[in-house]
Structure 1
């Protein structure tokens, strides 16, 4: 090919880059959109409530009504009466989508925001984050299927009901982890029964960690890997326990042109 012909081809390519690359770019964009359609990732930073010293983070990848949940929690009450402390946890829905703060939510002045006192902020149970079996609100106080110990990693894929999905997508869902160290509470609170299961002490079911679920671009829970399960059943015989249940397309186009140009020069 003569120098004049090569120059003409280069000028034609420069004059119509949009026509050459628009289709690959559009195809790439539409493919990416299709892959992410109907799927979103949500994160919750779990902050302490009620004198709890722990913290944690939870990631929820939602596709339709399927939720892939991974969570890391540490620093909570470890044992009670010689057994691993069960920490029931839930996705709460149907309220303001926030966590209580300050003392205004403590209506009876005992120094503890009980589960029911916090309900106007985070709502009722939408889904129980159990380690196995039932995930409905009916399993909300079942310690046999709750993660246990002061620190735990949790991982489970579950099917959510429509009310929980709607709350998550509208930014009104909140993660609440329950179970306080009773020795950190006031004498009044230590003597009070649970507002959910009167046969238990107040500490057993009161909120320890709380965090609203928010849309996130993160692909993993901060703080390390997550192991399946995380719950324990040790100590279930203890008397206090209960049995309540664009760039890539442009690169490709450029490479194609260079190969053709080199072939013409040979």
Structure 2
């Protein structure tokens, strides 16, 4: 991947030249999104789940190697491991919800209430088989128990890939311990699967995925190094836009003076 590109020699060049330079400088980012791009997310607790975790994703074309660890979630359900369906959610604000999104005041943020924050299912992070949104509530292929070490290479569809590029993809792990919910919430059914209790599909962990710099660590190592640099790519884009605006302003000022 080229690390340098031609840039205009004078920053007061016409806007067309400045715009071309910005597009040229941004080209490595576009290429990076499809060839060896890496993304990471810190999974934080929602709805008082008490859990935490991390996710790393490396994308090559439409293939994604996903490495994930989380712990501290509900352990048992009906005598077996608690199934925690999990997904890459897409197409919304790319953020995690807050308790202000609890519109019915039952003390639980449901997935419909969180839709404006993290959006719909783009990819199901199943342990085997189907990874499409259709498998989103299939508890038979979900990780089970209070913790997981998940590693799988899957195919991402075009919508999920675009959401990663747009910085709007969010990893969400679902499933709460019913005993921790309010009396009202314990009586409610899941809005996604009415045959299940609300706790089964309510979000327990959430983390926005952000692009890591090209020089970041191999995501398969499980290292958290480099996460502090999540804003580098976004900052670079902002600088390009700032330079373009400055060039336009100076060009117009010079024209008025002449």
TM-score > 0.5 by shorter chain? yes
Q: How does 1:1-266 map to 2 (within 5 A)?
A: 38-101=35-98, 103-216=99-212, 217-219=216-218, 220-222=221-223
- The 2-side partners of 1:28 and 1:204 are apart by 47
**Conserved in 2, the CA contact under 8 Å of 1:45 and 1:58?**
yes
What's the secondary structure of 1:138's corresponding residue? helix
Contact kept in structure 2, 1:57 and 1:222, CA below 8 Å: no
Q: How far off its partner does 1:29 sit?
A: 6.2
Equivalent-residue separation in structure 2 for 1:158 and 1:66 (angstroms): 6
Query: What SS class does the counterpart of residue 180 from structure 1 fall into?
Result: coil
> Normalising by the residue count of structure 1, what TM-score does the alignment of the two structures yield?
0.69
- Aligned equivalents of 1:29 and 1:137: distance in 2? 37
Instruction: Please list every run of 5 or more consecutive structure 2 residues that lacks an aligned counterpart in the other structure.
Output: 5-27, 225-258
Larger radius of gyration between Structure 1 and Structure 2? 1
SS in structure 2 of the partner of residue 195 of structure 1 = coil
Mapped partners of 1:116, 1:63: distance in 2 = 32
Per-residue CA deviation, residues 206-227 of structure 1 (Å, 9 max, x unaligned), is 000000001122323248xxxx
What TM-score, normalized by structure 2, do the two folds share? 0.71
> What is the aligned residue count?
193
**Contact residue 129 and residue 146 of structure 1 kept, 8 A:** yes
Q: Pick closer, same or farther for the CA change 1:158–1:104 going to 2, 3 Å.
A: same
Residues in 1 aligned to 2:117 and 2:223: alpha-carbon distance in whole angstroms: 26
Superposed structure 1 runs of 4+ greater than 4 Å apart: 27-30
Indicate the RMSD between aligned Cα atoms, in angstroms: 1.9
Q: What is the CA–CA distance in structure 1 between the aligned matches of 2:125 and 2:46, rounded to whole Å?
A: 19
- Between the aligned partners of 1:68 and 1:52, the Cα distance in structure 2 is 27
For the residues of structure 2 that align with 1:28 and 1:66, how far apart are their CA atoms? 22
Gaps of 5+ in 1: 1-26, 224-266
Q: Secondary structure of 1:164's match? A: helix
The aligned counterpart of 2:250 is: none
Shift of residue 104, structure 1, vs aligned partner: 1.2
2:143 & 2:84 partners in 1: Cα distance? 6
Write out per-residue CA displacement over residues 126-185 of structure 1, whole angstroms, 9 at most, x where no aligned residue: 000001100000000001100110011001000111000000011000000000000000
